A and B are shown apart, each in its own frame.
Chain A
Amino acid sequence: MSEAPLRDRIGKYPVMKRLGSGATSEVFLCHDPFNDRDVAVKVVSTDAFDDPARGKLFKKLFVNEASLAGKLQHPHIVQIYDAVAEDRLNYIVMEYVDGGTLEKFCASDSLLPIERVVEMAFKCTRALEFAHRMGITHRDIKPANILHAGGSDVKITDFGAALNSASETTQVAAIGSPAYMSPQQVKEHPLDHRTDIYSMGVVMYHLLTGRLPFQASNNFSLIYQITNMDPPAPSSLRPEVPARVEAIVLRAMAKEHDDRYPDWEAFSLDLAEVFRSEYVGATKEEFADTDKFETLRTLSFFENFTDAELWEVARMSSWRTATPGELLMKEGEPGDFFCILAEGEVKVTKHGKLLNLLRTGEAFGEMAYLSKSAPVRVADVAVMNNAKIISIPTSNLEQASDPCRHKFDRAFMEILVERLTMANIRLSGV
């Protein structure tokens, strides 16, 4: 094995070690001294850069697309920090994720539990929906482009046609296999987000069964199958794959646009539902990320939150169920958290006198966050009927991103305005 000697630095970034290499690219772990963080630097060397006629244009495209992809800031998308195209050196500087790619879960002896696959696919669909809304199609969704960030957390990398045509894909398609390509991609039809939906279906298929949907000894046969044949049902390869999960994979992989999921929203909704019906209680945690995210999305409190912000909320909150009669907050107690009712009903009382009944989506204990004075509960809160409680420690919220805190403040402001209006009506009515 003769590896080229490790270069000292790439651009301004000192190299620490090689992380991996492909046909036309190498990825290095580097350090960014100015920002004091580790980064992954992908050096791309492709003939396209050296083309005398179009090389310059291609370099420009390379940086422009990286720049556009750099605008994707999402917990499940690898952040791009910089891109450089010089005479001899072309590279992209990215967030470093220490966990390898999903390829390690594609072998039949290392498969993930099915609910984990559903969770990861759900996160991918939401991230790709986010990218789609920013006008970006990935075009090269495959396990090697999905990094594993621990647990069921994933981060998608290599957005942008120029970027990934500069990297493995086109070449691999030529020398290797177009296994994750949609029929439209194979036929070189114009592409939109639905090509990514197809590829995501193939990724799910691979993760669930440990094999690709189409087995072929040559590309011609593979392309024929992609465009003409139905893959074997995942459950025929892994019997415990539930019918509903199978249906999702097959719909994502439908050859005709009309039969495929029209958008990410529909795809992710099905994943969330199947998770809820098949797997709630199956995992050790009472609430899976999918469940948290989908629940948050339905609550009016969070209606103006973006996906990225909702994931932040899912992360900073703790969730539990509570049974009737349980006392959630007690007057006079110090309070360093507030709650949002995900389901059920609670009552607010003071000295036994009923002040308010709260329903799904309403917040309580928020004065701990809103008022400047020492946070002490001014009323009791007790559960009326089985309830799901989301509690958010105020210290966690203080650590959240500015946009996320901003959304909380807007939401609370609306609540306060509403209450004040009510109070004023009652005052003038008395």
Chain B
Amino acid sequence: MSADAPDPQPAPLPERVGKYPVVRKLGEGATSEVYLCRDPFNDRDVAVKRIFPEALRDSARGGVYRKLFLAEASLAGKLSHPHIVAIYDAVIEDDSGYIVMEFVPGGTLEPRTAQDNLLPIDKIVEIVFKCTRALSYANQIGVTHRDIKPGNILMSGPTDIKISDFGLALSAGADTTHVTGVGSPAYMSPEQIREQPLTQQTDIYSLGVVMYQLLTGQLPYQASNNFSMIYQITTTDPAPPSTLREGIPMSVDRIVRKAMQKDQARRYQAWEDFSKDLAEAFKTESLARKTEEFADSEKFNALRAMGFFRRFSDPELWEVVAVGRWEKVAAGAILMREGEAGEHFCMLVSGEVKVTKNKKLLNVLGAGECFGEMAYLAESGKVRGASVAANGESRIVRINVAELMNASETCRLKFERAFIAILVERLNLANTRLTSG
């Protein structure tokens, strides 16, 4: 309130947006600005994106736009996924409109597109893989993003991301369609530029561009004006990323090229194919890590392939990725000991283990099977009834029962359904043996 403040002040911070007290400003675009706010009722920080009143007064929009805005925010609000920014509320009135979202402190991917700040290639593949899975999930719910760009992908951990700003109306309320960032349609697919009907393939194209930029530190097309940019997007081929940065494997070049195909028939048809190629690329020597670490994409795909997790949705499977501890074990390694207290159960990712009791072989288990699950199933099962040892080199996931209790209700529900299926099967088998014996 002091009158003699020397600095020229930017526009003063509003005290609140809707019911949300403003903490500070997070960013600003051409038609909107984003604030960090408090939600006192739910006791959490939120990011509130406020659309400038001028943008709302635009006569070209008006009532239809308002309806669309709410409908799309409501739909996007139904996306519940660890790699998608949650939408909590959306309000649109005559001269104000705002969206209340999950607050992600890590900033966007934009700084990681600068030449001197690029991410390692394997990290980029990881990040893009997570984007493809999240966008595939959104597509299944019927939501196309239409504005994929580094500024809409937030960092929430070393390779963890959250995609923001789903929905045409929402991003139109933001700064995209009419002025993309600095005024360029750089991430738009050819069909988007031609204003043709759009499918998930437009997002696939845009994510291809994002990947290109993250890998090389430059956009696939350089242009001094939008017309030139549009011309190039629709007619010329970009230089392969590997020509711009050392160490990019052919397989990654191919993925970027296929995602950015101008002809939709030659582009990835579905997210599934895009994800699969990314996961494969990871296995190539040049990207395989020297450490014993498992990449998240590797974990995700290993779990996806197991019958046990067949009924798990993507968000639930990511929870398992987060809660599991992954290990490579050598042949002969003892994994569980009869009589010991058991606080975890295991899933066998690859290899073979043998189950013994009093040195008598009870069972040999292969990939996809679980063991030690009595720790989870029965109160009385906290003590191992048998020993388990690796038969050959194996990969296992340990899941701590206490940690699993912190997983979401739906995730735990899926575990129970999966265990019930196993128990029913075993019981049927036992009954058959009993009646035939």
Across-interface contacts of B18 in A (CB, < 8 A): 11-12
Instruction: Report whether B437 and A34 are in contact in the complex, using a CB–CB cutoff of 8 Å.
Output: no
Query: In the docked arrangement, what's the CA distance between A403 and B416, Å?
Result: 12
Q: Mark A62-73, 1 if CB is under 8 A from B, else 0.
A: 011011001000
Flag the segment in A231-239, A287-295, A405-413 that touches B. Answer: A405-413
Q: Give the interface segment out of A146-154, A168-176, A268-276, A416-424.
A: A416-424
Task: Name B96's closest neighbour in chain A (CB-CB).
Answer: A12
Interface residues of A in 323-370 (CB under 8 A from B): 367, 370
Are B433 and A414 closer than 8 Å at their CB atoms?
Answer: no
From B107-115, B171-179, B406-414, give the one contacting chain A: B406-414
| Chain B 5-35: CB-based contact to A (< 8 A → 1; otherwise 0) | 0000000000010110000000000000000
CB pair B413–A402 under 8 Å, yes or no, is yes
Contact, CB under 8 Å: A63 / B41: yes
> Measured between C-beta atoms, what is the minimum distance from A10 to chain B in Å?
11
Digitize B72-92: 1 where CB-to-A-CB distance is under 8 Å, 0 elsewhere.
011001000000000001110
Residue numbers of A with Cβ under 8 A of B are: 9, 11-12, 33-36, 60, 63-64, 66-67, 70, 82-86, 367, 370-372, 402-403, 405-406, 409-410, 412-414, 416-417, 419-420, 423-424, 426-427, 430
Please indicate the chain B residues that have their CB under 8 angstroms from the CB of A419 in the complex. Answer: 427
B283 interface hit (Cβ, 8 Å) = no
Residue pair B416, A409 in contact (C-beta under 8 Å): yes
Binds A, one of B237-245, B394-402, B418-426: B418-426
B197 contacts the other chain (Cβ, under 8 Å)?
A: no
Let me know if B420 and A409 touch, CB within 8 A: yes
Interface centre among A33, A372, A402, A412 (most CB of B within 10 A): A33
Q: Looking across the interface, which residue of chain B has its beta carbon closest to that of A66?
A: B41
Q: Residue A83 contacts which of B16, B41, B413, B431 (CB distance < 8 angstroms)? A: B41
CB under 8 Å from chain A, chain B span 318-358: none
Question: A409: which B residues are within 8 A, CB to CB?
Answer: 413, 416-417, 420
From B73, B91, B424, B430, A12 is in contact (CB under 8 Å) with: B91
Can you list 16 A-B pairs, Cβ within 8 angstroms, ordered by A?
A9-B93, A34-B70, A34-B91, A67-B41, A67-B42, A86-B19, A402-B413, A406-B413, A409-B413, A410-B416, A416-B423, A417-B378, A420-B426, A427-B434, A430-B434, A430-B437
- The verdict on B157 contacting chain A, using a C-beta distance below 8 Å, is no
CA–CA, A83 and B423, complex, Å? 46
Q: Which residues of A contact B419 (CB under 8 A)?
A: 413
Closest beta carbon of chain B to A377's beta carbon, Å: 15
| B43 contacts chain A at the CB level, 8 A cutoff | yes
| Interface status of B119 (Cβ within 8 A of chain A) | no
In the complex, B40 has a CB within 8 A of chain A: yes
Q: Known contacts A33-B70, A34-B77, A409-B413: does B41 contact A82 (CB below 8 Å)?
A: yes
Residues of chain B within 8 A of A67, CB atoms compared: 40-43
Q: How far is the CB of B309 from chain A (nearest CB, A)?
A: 15
Chain B: CB-nearest residue to A89: B19
In the complex, are the beta carbons of A11 and B19 less than 8 A apart?
yes
The CA of A56 and the CA of B423, in the complex, are separated in Å by 58
A192 to B323 alpha-carbon distance, docked (Å)? 41
Which residues of chain B come closer than 8 Å to A82, judged between CB atoms?
19, 41
Contact A412 B420 (CB under 8 A): yes
Complex: A36 Cα to B426 Cα, angstroms: 46
> Contacts A367-B424, A417-B423, A423-B434 known; A84 to B19 CB distance under 8 Å?
yes
CA distance A416 to B420 in the complex (A): 8
Contact call B420/A427, Cβ cutoff below 8 A: no
The distance in angstroms between the C-alpha atoms of A36 and B409, with both chains bound, is: 24
Known contacts A34-B91, A63-B40, A427-B434; is-contact A413 B409 (Cβ 8 Å): no
Query: Chain B binding site: helix, strand, loop or mixed by DSSP?
Result: helix
With a CB–CB cut-off of 8 A, which chain A residues contact B370? none
Given contact pairs A34-B77, A427-B430, a sample of 19 additional A-B residue pairs in the complex whose CB atoms are under 8 Å apart: A9-B93, A34-B70, A34-B89, A35-B74, A60-B40, A67-B40, A67-B42, A82-B19, A406-B412, A406-B416, A409-B417, A412-B420, A414-B378, A416-B424, A417-B377, A419-B427, A420-B427, A423-B430, A423-B431
Pairwise interchain contact A423-B427, C-beta atoms closer than 8 A: yes
Contacts of A84 in B (CB 8 A): 19, 41
Closest chain A residue to B437 by CB distance? A430
- Complex contacts, A424 vs chain B, CB 8 Å: 430
Known: A84-B19, A86-B16, A412-B420. A426 touches B434 (CB 8 A): yes
Give A410's nearest chain B residue, CB to CB.
B416
* Complex interface: chain B residues within 8 A of A85 (CB): 40
A35 and chain B: residue at smallest CB distance? B74
B16: chain A residues within 8 A (beta carbon): 86
* Nearest B residue to A64, CB-CB: B40
Chain A min CB distance to B380 (Å): 8
Asked whether, in the complex, the Cβ of B19 is within 8 Å of the Cβ of A12, the reply is yes
B219 vs chain A, min Cβ distance (A): 36
By a CB distance below 8 angstroms, the chain A residues around B77 are 34
B96 to A: closest C-beta gap in Å: 10
- Please measure, in the bound complex, the distance between the C-alpha atom of A345 and the C-alpha atom of B142, giving whole angstroms: 51
CB-defined interface of B370-408 with A at 8 Å, one 1/0 digit per residue? 000010011101000000000000000000000000000
* B426: nearest chain-A partner, CB-CB: A420
- CB neighbours (8 Å) of A426 from chain B are 434
> In the bound complex, do residue A406 and residue B409 qualify as a contact, i.e. CB atoms below 8 Å apart?
yes
Residues on B with beta carbons closer than 8 Å to the beta carbon of A70: 41
In the complex, what's the smallest C-beta–C-beta distance from A65 to chain B, in angstroms? 11
Determine whether the beta carbon of B74 is less than 8 Å from that of A36.
yes
Q: Which A residue sits closest to B435, measured CB to CB?
A: A350
By beta carbon, the residue of chain A nearest B100 is A34
How far, in Å, is A306 (CB) from chain B's closest CB? 13
Query: How far is it, in angstroms, between the C-alpha of A410 and the C-alpha of B420 when the chains are bound?
Result: 9
- Complex: A403 Cα to B420 Cα, angstroms: 17
Minimal beta-carbon separation of A280 from chain B (angstroms)? 36
B residues less than 8 Å from A36 (CB atoms): 74
Contacts of B424 in A (CB 8 A): 367, 370-371, 416
Please indicate the chain A residues that have their CB under 8 angstroms from the CB of B377 in the complex.
413, 417
The residue that B409 contacts in the complex, of A9, A11, A403, A417, with Cβ under 8 A, is A403
List chain B residues, Cβ under 8 A from A64. Answer: 40
User: Smallest CB-CB separation from B16: which chain A residue?
Assistant: A86
Distance to closest chain A CB from B37 (angstroms): 13
Nearest neighbor of B74 in chain A, beta-carbon distance: A34
Q: In the complex, A409 Cα to B420 Cα: how many Å?
A: 8
Q: How far is the CA of A12 from the CA of B16 in the complex (A)?
A: 13
Chain A residue nearest to B378 in the complex (CB):
A417
Known: A34-B91, A409-B416. A427 touches B40 (CB 8 A): no
Q: Specify the chain A residue showing the minimal Cβ separation from B425.
A: A371
CA separation between A427 and B90, bound complex, in Å? 61
Rounded to whole angstroms, the CA-CA distance of A123 and B84 in the bound complex is 41
In the bound complex, what is the Cα–Cα distance between A84 and B412 (angstroms)?
34
Residues of B within 8 A of A410 (CB): 416
Cα A402 to Cα B377 in complex, Å, equals 19
Question: Smallest CB–CB gap between A35 and chain B, Å?
Answer: 8
Among A12, A33, A413, A423, contact of B420 (Cβ-Cβ < 8 Å) = A413
A427 near B437: Cβ-Cβ < 8 Å: yes
Tell me the bound Cα distance from A34 to B86 in angstroms: 14
Q: How far is the CA of A67 from the CA of B381 in the complex (A)?
A: 39
> Which 6 A-B residue pairings sit nearest by Cβ, starting from the closest?
A423-B430, A416-B423, A409-B416, A12-B91, A84-B19, A402-B409
